[in-house]
Amino acid sequence: MTEQHFDVVVLGGGSAGYATAIRARQLGMTAAVIEKDKLGGTCLHRGCVPTKALLHSAEIADVAREGAAYGVISNVAGIDMAGVNAFRTNLVAGKHKGLQGLLKANGITVIAGEGRLIAANTVQVGADQIIGKHVVLATGSYSRSLPGLEIGGRVITSEHALELTEVPQKVIVLGGGVIGVEFASVWRSFGAEVTIIEGLPRLAPNEEESVSKQLERAFRKRGIDFKTGIRFQSVTQDASSVTVTLEDGSAISADYLLVAVGRGPATAGLGFEEVGISMDRGFVLTNERLATNVPGVFAVGDIVPGLQLAHRGYQQGIFVAEEIAGLAPVIVEDINIPKVTYCDPEIASVGLTEAAAKEKYGADKVTSYEYNLAGNAKSSILGTAGSVKAVRVVDGPVVGVHMIGARVGELVGEAQLIVNWEAYPEDVAPFIHGHPTQNETIGEAMLKLAGKPLHAL
């Protein structure tokens, strides 16, 4: 047995884990990352990056189909899944290689193997003990299922969906959240018939209600079927198909059932509870500064209750490294972390919904404005419908921005600055947004809320 000693030992090399290590090294600490699979974790290899590669292929297919509307003679002869998968895997491989080089350049020790916490300051990897003045848990998440719903055969998760070598003729998607609507969007663009089943009353249920309604209209127009407010009951399958029965007794058959009901914390069997760390249904409980109840042990990323987003992981990793260094970093609440759903149309949001703002401040203290993308020249050029909605406290700051439409994910950067810096619309209104850009839509919303609309009534 050998021992290695570091200032910071990170268990898990995904987004949150490697961000912790990089920032720790920048602050003069020694750091090690323990990873049993590949650096980059779910985001790089099975989540954010590969799914967005598929969505880009899907976007190209849609643009080619619509070429005539723009004076371009084009069509889609078919979808070459071997080519699509090659694009995806090559992209991921390149990013993985770059990440390995980044950690090496930062002087971070990467330890390959499955780690288990055996003491507050010690992670066991095989016969070796990795000892840190501080230990950061960053073990990530896995695709969840429902009780009694076994994954296998034609019942698949998002990881399996990424590896499909053919375009299904018909697909059922169980779950109308981020993962569900993104894969539904991809498969529809590739030519599949898609049905989404969502137990809650609307698709994208965590978003502003008006955004959900616009998404549903857009999906209907695209030919994506969905059933909301009804729950899954059971599934049967054979060699060539799967049949889902719903609680109302209706049944739907397809080639595959994608189970997209969220992700669970990957913490089982890693020694956390044995060391005394407080847990809840597999999640690691922390205080607002991401410290666990065990001194010297922190947790970051998907294993901490709240949003499961790669960029939240980055933020938390940087935060913990700075916290360990005594810099007292600023806390960013989950509600003020930007969210993007990359279906077609895209959804992007940050801050409180109008309903949540009214609950917090009182209905008479909140006002909002929803700017229709029909008034935006660049959106019209792109052929997208949608809107940008801003929510403000009366005579106070903007507390939420909620958007839907092609490419609106690229607008969320300014939106998060407005919300997190507690800007008033009057603060933003004097600043000019380039024309013609979709970015103007945020400017128009601010102008309207400031009482001096330009292209709005």
Catalytic residue numbers? 435
3-class DSSP assignment, residue 389: strand
Phi-psi region of 215 (alpha: psi -120 to 50; beta: other; left: phi over 0): alpha
Q: What is the DSSP letter of 330?
A: P
86: Cα separation from own chain's centroid: 23
Answer yes or no: are the C-beta atoms of 141 and 17 closer than 8 Å: no
Residues 6 or more apart from 430 whose CB is under 8 A from it?
none
Q: Say how many Å lie between the first and final Cα of the chain, rounded.
A: 73
Distance, in Å, from the CA atom of 232 to the CA atom of 195, rounded to the nearest integer, reads 13
The residue with tokens 């992700």 is 263
377: Cα separation from own chain's centroid: 29
The residue with tokens 């909605």 is 389
3-class DSSP assignment, residue 171: strand
Count H helices, E strands: the chain? 14, 24
Distance, in Å, from the CA atom of 250 to the CA atom of 208, rounded to the nearest integer, reads 30
Helix runs in 144-208, H state only: 158-162, 178-189
